Amino acid sequence: MTDLPDLLTRGGPVIWAIAALSVLTLALILWKLYRLAALGAWSGGRVTAAAIAHWQQGEVGAALTLLAPRRSLRARLAHAAMIAHGDGALTAEAAREDTTRIARGLLSELRGGLRPLDLIVTIAPLLGLLGTVLGMIAAFQALQEAGGQTDPATLAGGIWEALLTTAAGMAVAIPAAAALTWFDSIADRVQAEMEDDATRIFTRGGAPRP
């Protein structure tokens, strides 16, 4: 049974690059999970819904008081939308534009870290393929130099070592792709919820707009 250090040695520099990518991928996934939790991707919905209910009943102070200490994305956007909508200095259109600007910044926070994961999904298999191509070139060069004296077992060993990098690249890319898809779905859900919250705030309650 070939152990991990031996596999890293046999795979050459490319396998070391893929191993570094695997560590980076795990770190990004754990960091993203922490950030999503901190941004309230799975919480904050009840408080925001309760605040919007107060808002729709004309209880503006209660709604703002409920949202002010909250740090979830939905709560922060709802609070900003209520402030903009209730500010007599802003027209309805200006209030919506200001809320949209804030929403873009919050969504940027929500999607932070996804671009590096997307890059890993792309380059990990390519690195694996590069390692395989280089390994196959070396194996066939050895076959050419040995002429007809090459042991088939030796050639097979060189080929499986070359294919090792492809397997390693796919082993990194597959979980990275799964995590990226999951994080994207969470971001899309939170974005839809934020849009719904803003619509409810601007269509009902608050101070009359000019």
Backbone angles phi, psi at 101, to 5 degrees: -60, -45
Q: What is the pLDDT of residues 11-49, one digit of tens each?
A: 578 888 899 999 999 999 999 999 999 998 888 788 899
CB atoms within 10 A of CB 81: 28
Contact predicate 109/74, CB 8 Å: no
pLDDT of residue 146: 66
Instruction: Decide if pLDDT at 164 tops 80.
Output: yes
Q: Report the predicted TM-score, pTM, of the whole model to 2 decimal places.
A: 0.82
CB atoms within 10 A of CB 89: 7
Where are the domains positioned within the chain? 4-203
The structure tokens listed for 6 are 């031996």
Instruction: Decide if pLDDT at 167 tops 50.
Output: yes
* Residue 208 per-residue DSSP state: P
Q: Say how far apart CA 54 and CA 162 lie, in whole Å.
A: 65
